[in-house]
Structure 1
Amino acid sequence: MAAFFMAYILRFNFQLGSDEIQQAIKLAPLVFGIRLISFYLTKTYSGIVRYTGTQDAVRIFIALTSGTLFLIACNLVNFVASDEVMVPSSIIIIDYLICMMAMTSSRLTYKILYQQIRSESPKKTQVVIYGAGQSGLITKRTLDQDNKINYKVIAFVDDSHEKAGKRIDGVPIFPGTDLKTVIERNKVDELVLSIQNISKSRKRDIIETCLSYDIKVKNVPPVERWINGELNYRQIKKVNIEDLLERDQIELDTASMSRNLRGKVVLVTGAAGSIGSEIARQVLSFYPKKIILLDQAETPLYELEQELFEKFRHNKAALSCFEICVGDIKNVNKLRRIFERYRPNVVFHAAAYKHVPLMENNPTAAVATNVFGTKILADTAVEFNTERFVMVSTDKAVNPTNVMGASKRVAEIYVQSLNYSAFNSNTKFITTRFGNVLGSNGSVIPYFKKQIAEGGPITVTHPEITRYFMTIPEACQLVLEAGNMGNGGEIYLFDMGQPVRIVDLAKKMIKLSGLSLGKDIQIEYIGLRPGEKIAEELLSDAENTTPTHHPKITIAKIKPFEYGVVSDVIGELITMLAREDNEEIVLKMKQIVPEFISNNSVYEALDDLKIS
C-alpha cells in the first residue's frame, strides 16, 4: 500500500489535493486485495528471505505483473462503462515499478547483510572451489546457503585462462597454474573439486598439491547424481584414495568387442568376486545371448543377483539374459552339465584363490582350485568347442616367491600349452596378467580404511614394499579387450603405471581422512608375511614383450611348453593332492616352475632339493 500512495505522491509532484487523496483512499482496498490475491497464488511469502534466489525473483515478477495487468483491465472496463478511468495509468505503472524495486532490493539487502554477519565468524572454514563454471557457481551458493555449516568461499580456480581475473558473486577467479600461489597467500582449509569433466591425471595433480599443504579435498558428484537436479551440501564428499590412483579413461575397440560378445553365450567363473562381477557387468552392456555367472560363494553370488535384478528390473530381455549357478570349478559333473546345457562361446575364468599368506599355509587348496580347477574348466571348454577362453592371472605368477603365485603360473603354462595341442582345433586360450586392483575383496585399501576407522594403527609389512594398482573397471576393460584381440596362446600384460609404495599409500589415506600421522594415528611395520615380495614384477628375466594396437596392452614373448610334457607333470601334481603332503606338492611346483624361489617361507629349504 505504501507503494500505491507513493505513486500518487510522485505522480502529482508531492502536491496532492483533497480529491486525489480521497481517490487514493477509495481505491486502496481494491489495490490491496488484488496484490494480496496475486501474492497468495504465486506464494511469494513462502521463500526464506536469506536464501533468496532467481526463483523468488521470478515469483515476485509474476505476482506484480499479473496484479498490475488486472488493475489495467479494471481501468479499461471502467473507462468503457463510464467514459472515465478509476486511476491514471501512470500511477499504476509507478506503483508497479516501486513494488518491484522495493521487494527485490529489500530481500537482496537482507540476504547480503545476513551473509556478511555470518562471514564475520572467527571459526569460518576458508574454501577454494576448483571450477568456475555452472557447477562451481552452484557449489558456492550451496555452501553459502546451508545454515548448518560455516564456510566462506575465498576464491575460484579454473583451468580456463579466459575466466582468470574475473569474479563470480564477488569472488575472484584464478588460473589453475596459480593454485599453489592461492594456497600460500590464503589460509585455505578445504578445496572443493567442482568440475564435471576433468582428466584423472589433472584431478590427481590437484589432490596431490592440496595434500602437500595439509588441505582437505572434497568432490562434487556428477550432475546426474544431484537430488532432483539440485546439489545438497551432504553430497559433497571427501575424495577417496582411489581418486589418486585412477587413470584416464581407456579407449576400447567397442565395435569389435560387440561383434565377439553380442548374441554369444558367456560363462564367467568366480562371478561373485571383485573381478568376475565387474566382467559380468561389462559383458552385459554388449547384449550377450546368455551370461552364466558361476561361483561357489553363495552370499556374494546372491548379492550380485539382487544387484542385477535391481538394475534391469524394467528390462525383461536383460533379466532373462543372466543365469546364476552355484558350483565349484573342481566339480567335473557340474561343469559338464553347464557346458551341455548352455554351450558357452566365451569363458572368462576369474575363479581362483588369491591371498598369499593363506595359500602359503594351504598349498593343497591353492593347487586344487588354481591348477586342477583351471585344468578341468579348460579341458571342458575344448571338449565343447568353446571359441575363446580368457584366463585372469596375476603379476605374482612372475618369478613367484609364494605358493599362490606359483599355482597361477602352473595354470598359465597349462592353458598356453593346451592352446597349441593337437586335439584343440577351435578354442583360443588367452591369459591376462595384472597387479593389484583397488578395492577388491581383501585388498590393502579396504583393510587400511577399516584400520583408520578403528583409530589405528595402520599395519604395513615393510617400509619399502611396493605394489602396482589399477581400478577394477579398468582391469576388466583390459581383460575384455585382450580377450577380444587374442589369437590364442598369448599372455597379455597390462600397463599398470608406476608402482606405489604401500607406506606412502597409507600416509595419503591418513591425510585424506583428515588425521595427522604421529598425532591421531600411527603406522606400524610388522614384517613381510610368508611368501611376500618387496616388489612385484610383470615379466620374468627370460621374457620380453611385443606391442599391440592398444597402448596399455603388450604381449609377453614366452616360449610355449609342449602339451604332452605339461599334461604329464601337472597330472602328477594333481595326483599328490589326495595325500595332502604340503612339502611334496610345493617341491613338485618348484620342479614345474624353476623360477619359483620361496621367500620368507617354510618352503625355502626345498629350493635346494629341486630337480632340474
Structure 2
Amino acid sequence: MSKKTNKTTTEDSYTGSRRHLQHWVIIAFYLIIYDIVAVNFSWFLGLLLRFDMRFSSIPQNYFNAFIKFAPFYTAFCVLIFYIFHLYNSLWRFASISELNRISAATVIATLFQIFGITFLFGRMPMSYYIIGCIVQFCLVTAVRFSFRYVSLERVRRTQNEKAIHNAMVIGAGAAGQMILRELKTSTESTARPCCIIDDNPNKWGRIMEGVPVVGGRENILENVEKYNIDQILFAIPSAHAKEKRDILNICKETQCELRSLPGTYQLVNGDVSLSKMKPVAVEDLLGREPIKVNMDEIFQYLKGKTILVTGGGGSIGSELCRQIASHNPKQLIIFDIYENNAYDIEQELKRKYKDLNLKVLIGSVRDSRRINMVFEQYHPDIVYHAAAHKHVPLMETSPNEAIKNNVIGTYKTAYAAMKYGVQRFVLISTDKAVNPTNIMGASKRLCEMVVQSMDAISKAGRIDLLPFLHAHMDKVIDGQLAGDPLDHMAADGMSAEDSVINIESIRNKDHKGTQYVAVRFGNVLGSNGSVIPLFRKQIEAGGPVTVTHPDIVRYFMTIPEAVSLVLQAGTYAWGGEIFVLDMGEAVKIDTLARNLIRLSGFEPDVDIQLEYTGLRPGEKLYEEKLMAEEGIKKTDNELIHIGKPIPFDTEVFLKQLEKLAKASYENSDHIVEMVEEIVTTFHPAGEHPCYDKRAN
C-alpha cells in the first residue's frame, strides 16, 4: 500500500512538472510564430513605406531581394532571440534587463539584414533599413512587455480591492523608490501610496513611480488630512538620528501607523523591501546617534578565546552571548541561575551558530565551590560579569540580598578569575552607582570598588590582603591562604582541601595579572527591568500608564549599544578603569510614555490615561553618569569615556567588605547603615538633593 502511494505521488509530481513545462513551451512556440510574422512584416512595411504604401510601385528587384532573403533572416532572428533568452524569460517581471536584451538582439539582427541582403542581392533603400529596424524592435518589445502590463494591471486591481491603508512615503530617494515600486507591484501589500514627502525643494511638484511629491516635513500634517493617510512609511535609512527624531515627532502627532527602515546597510545591500520595514520604536525618538564600535578590533580580541558570561540568560547577558558567538570564540560558557533563560539562549545560539563550542551551566555566583569548579574546569580567558539583582524597589525591601548577590557574588567571581589566571574581567555596572540613593545602586558602586581593589591587588601581587567572605582565606600560612574550613564548608559546601589556595601558583601565571574593569551605562530599552515592557502591557490593557513623577528623567540606550560598549571596553582595558558611554541628553519618562502611547495609535490623556504614582523607595529624579570627583578621559571612540577612579584605601575597604559580608549572611537589620559608611557618596532615599521628598 505504501509503495503504491509513493509511486502515485511521484507520478503526480512528474505530471505536474510536465504540465508546467508544457505551458511555457507553448508560450514560447506562440512567440516564435509571432516573431516570424513580426520580423517579416517589419521589413516589408519598411519597403512599402519607401514607395508611398503602394505595392505596385515597389521595383521588382527590391521585392525579389526581400522575398529571397526572408527565410535566411527569419531563421537568424529566431536563433538570436533564443540565444538572448527571449523565449524563456518571465515576462510578467520584465524590466531594464529584458529591454537591453531585446535591443541587443535587434541590433545584431539589423546588421545581419544590412550586410546579408546587400552582399547577396544588392543595396536596398536607406529608409528600408531604418524603418524595418524600428518597427521590428517595437513589435518584438510590445508583445513581451504586454505580459508585464497585463500582470501589473491585474495586481493594481487586486490591490485597490485589498487596500486598507492610504500610505504616505517619507523620502524620495532610492529607498523610497524601492518601497513605492513594491507597494504598487506586490500582491501582499495592503497599502495604497498616495503621496511622498521630501525636504528637497527640487523634488516638490514632481512625480515618482506615479506618486506626487507634495512637499517637505512641514507639509506632513496637511497632506495626511488631504489624502486621508493612515500609514506613514519612513524610507530614509541614511537619516541622522536627530533628523529622524524630528520628522517622526511630527508624524506621531498624526496618529497614523508609523513604519521605518532599520538602517543604511539595507540600502547598500539592496535589501530594501516592505518586509524589512518595522514599526517605529520609541528608541527612534531618542535622537541620539547609535554608538559605533570597531568590530574588527573586537573580533581580533575575542577570536580564539574561552569566554565566560555570568548572568548569560538575562537581557544584557544574552545579547553579550549573541555578539560573542558571532566573533568565533574558542568556547563560550553561559553561567546563570535561572534555567529557563539559559535554555532559551542556548537553543537560539545552537540554531544560529552550528559550529559554536557552547557550554551552558546552571549555578549561582554566590556559590564559591560552583564558581571555582567552573573556572578550574574551563579556564576562561575573559569573564563578562552580568549576574546581578537590578530591580531598585525590590532591593530596597531586601537589602541583604543585594549585598549577597551583587557584591559578594562579584567578589567571589573576581577572586576565581584571579586564582585561575583570567586575562580580563569586565563588570557590568550602572549609572545608579553614581551618588546612589538606593541599595541597588550602592551595591553596584561596591562592585566597582571590588573590581578596582582586585585590579590593584593583581598588579601588586598582594593576594594576602584578600579577606575570607565565606569563601576565601583570610590568613597566610606557609605561603598559602588558609582559613576556618568548618566556616568555609558551612557557607559553601566546600571541603578543607578546596579552601587552600597557593599564592605562588597565582604569581607564577604566564599572563601579567588579571585586568579588572567596570562598564557603566544607563537604562536599557527593552530589557527585563525597562519601563518600556511595563508601558506596553499597560497600553494593551487599556491603561492607565503609570509614571512615578512628571519630572523624572533617565539616560537610555539600546541593548546592542550597551553590549557593544562592554565589548569595546574589553579591548581598551588596562585595568582599574570605569568606562562610561556618552548617552546624550536625558529623556523625561513622561515624554517617553506619551510617545509610546502615540506610537501605539492612541492619544495620551484621551484614549489612554497617565497616572503619577510618586517616586518609589530609593528612586531619584535624575541619574548621573560620573561622580563629580571622577573627572573624565577620552578614548579612541568619541562616545566612550573613562572615569578616573576615586582613590580609597584598599586594605580598609577589604576589611569593611569582610564585615559587610558577614552581616549580610546574618541578615542584619543595619546593612544599609554599614553600606553608607563604606560608600561615602551613598545617600539613602530622602537624603539626596535629586530625591523629591514631596513624592512621599
**Shared fold by TM > 0.5?**
yes
Q: Normalized against structure 2, the TM-score is what?
A: 0.69
- What is the aligned partner in structure 1 of residue 591 from structure 2? 504
What code does the residue aligned with 2:397 have? N
**Residue-pair matches, total:** 580
Query: 1:555 aligned to 618, 621, 642, which one?
Result: 642
Query: Contact between 2:205 and 2:213, CA under 8 Å: does it hold in 1?
Result: yes
Verify: 1:593 aligned to 2:679, yes or no: yes
Classify the secondary structure of the residue corresponding to 1:544. coil
Q: How far off its partner does 1:12 sit? A: 7.6
Query: Contact between 1:57 and 1:104, CA under 8 Å: does it hold in 2?
Result: no
Query: 1:96 aligned to 136, 142, 158, which one?
Result: 136
- What is the aligned partner in structure 1 of residue 490 from structure 2? none
Verify: 1:142 aligned to 2:229, yes or no: no
Q: How far off its partner does 1:224 sit? A: 7.9
What code does the residue aligned with 1:220 have? L
Query: 1:397 aligned to 407, 414, 433, which one?
Result: 433
Task: Describe the superposition over 1:393-430 as per-residue Cα deviations: whole angstroms up to 9, x where unpaired.
Answer: 11112222222112212222222223223515722221
Q: Distance in 2 between matches of 1:116 and 1:342?
A: 62
What code does the residue aligned with 1:403 have? I
Verify: 1:275 aligned to 2:361, yes or no: no
Query: 2:170 aligned to 129, 149, 152, which one?
Result: 129
- What is the aligned partner in structure 2 of residue 328 from structure 1? 364
Query: Contact between 2:407 and 2:447, CA under 8 Å: does it hold in 1?
Result: yes
Q: How far off its partner does 1:115 sit? A: 9.6
Identity of aligned residues (%): 37
Q: How far off its partner does 1:252 sit? A: 3.3
Which deviates more, 212-221 or 117-126?
Answer: 117-126
Q: 1:386 to 1:110 in 2, by over 3 A?
A: closer
Q: How does 1:524-539 map to 2 (within 5 A)?
A: 524-539=611-626
Task: Describe the superposition over 1:110-144 as per-residue Cα deviations: whole angstroms up to 9, x where unpaired.
Answer: 78988999999998725133141x32212111112
Q: 1:392 to 1:464 in 2, by over 3 A?
A: same
Query: 2:629 aligned to 539, 543, 560, which one?
Result: 543
Q: How far off its partner does 1:294 sit? A: 1.4
Q: 1:118 to 1:155 in 2, by over 3 A?
A: farther
What code does the residue aligned with 1:143 have? L
Query: Contact between 2:312 and 2:387, CA under 8 Å: does it hold in 1?
Result: yes
Q: Distance in 2 between matches of 1:288 and 1:109?
A: 53
Q: How far off its partner does 1:166 sit? A: 5.8
Query: 1:458 aligned to 545, 570, 592, which one?
Result: 545
Q: How far off its partner does 1:355 sit? A: 0.7
Task: Describe the superposition over 1:116-175 as per-residue Cα deviations: whole angstroms up to 9, x where unpaired.
Answer: 99999998725133141x32212111112346534234225266x876776433545588
Q: Distance in 1 between matches of 2:345 and 2:155?
A: 48
Which deviates more, 491-500 or 286-295?
Answer: 286-295
What code does the residue aligned with 1:358 have? L
Q: Distance in 1 between matches of 2:165 and 2:518?
A: 56
Task: Describe the superposition over 1:260-289 as per-residue Cα deviations: whole angstroms up to 9, x where unpaired.
Answer: 444333222111112122223333444443
- What is the aligned partner in structure 1 of residue 17 from structure 2? none
Q: Distance in 2 between matches of 1:93 and 1:556?
A: 76
Gaps of 5+ in 2: 1-36, 65-72, 121-127, 464-506, 508-512, 688-696
- What is the aligned partner in structure 2 of residue 242 from structure 1? 283
Classify the secondary structure of the residue corresponding to 1:545. coil
Query: 2:415 aligned to 357, 367, 379, which one?
Result: 379
Q: How does 1:448-487 map to 2 (within 5 A)?
A: 448-487=535-574
Q: Distance in 2 between matches of 1:100 and 1:156?
A: 39
What code does the residue aligned with 1:329 have? V
Q: Distance in 1 between matches of 2:369 and 2:568?
A: 31
Q: How far off its partner does 1:298 sit? A: 1.3
- What is the aligned partner in structure 2 of residue 411 from structure 1? 447
- What is the aligned partner in structure 1 of residue 21 from structure 2? none
Task: Describe the superposition over 1:527-547 as per-residue Cα deviations: whole angstroms up to 9, x where unpaired.
Answer: 22222222222234x523121
Query: Contact between 2:524 and 2:557, CA under 8 Å: does it hold in 1?
Result: yes
Gaps of 5+ in 1: 24-30, 81-87, 602-612
Q: How far off its partner does 1:312 sit? A: 1.9
Q: Distance in 2 between matches of 1:124 and 1:304?
A: 38
Q: How does 1:299-338 map to 2 (within 5 A)?
A: 299-313=340-354, 316=355, 319-320=356-357, 322-338=358-374
Classify the secondary structure of the residue corresponding to 1:154. strand
Q: 1:96 to 1:393 in 2, by over 3 A?
A: same
Query: 2:660 aligned to 538, 552, 573, which one?
Result: 573
Q: How far off its partner does 1:379 sit? A: 1.6
Which deviates more, 444-453 or 418-427?
Answer: 418-427
Q: Distance in 2 between matches of 1:157 and 1:428?
A: 51
Q: How far off its partner does 1:502 sit? A: 0.9
Query: Contact between 2:253 and 2:598, CA under 8 Å: does it hold in 1?
Result: no
Q: 1:139 to 1:379 in 2, by over 3 A?
A: same
Q: Distance in 2 between matches of 1:231 and 1:258?
A: 28
Task: Describe the superposition over 1:230-260 as per-residue Cα deviations: whole angstroms up to 9, x where unpaired.
Answer: 8654543321112223743434355654554
- What is the aligned partner in structure 2 of residue 297 from structure 1? 338
Q: Distance in 2 between matches of 1:224 and 1:553?
A: 23
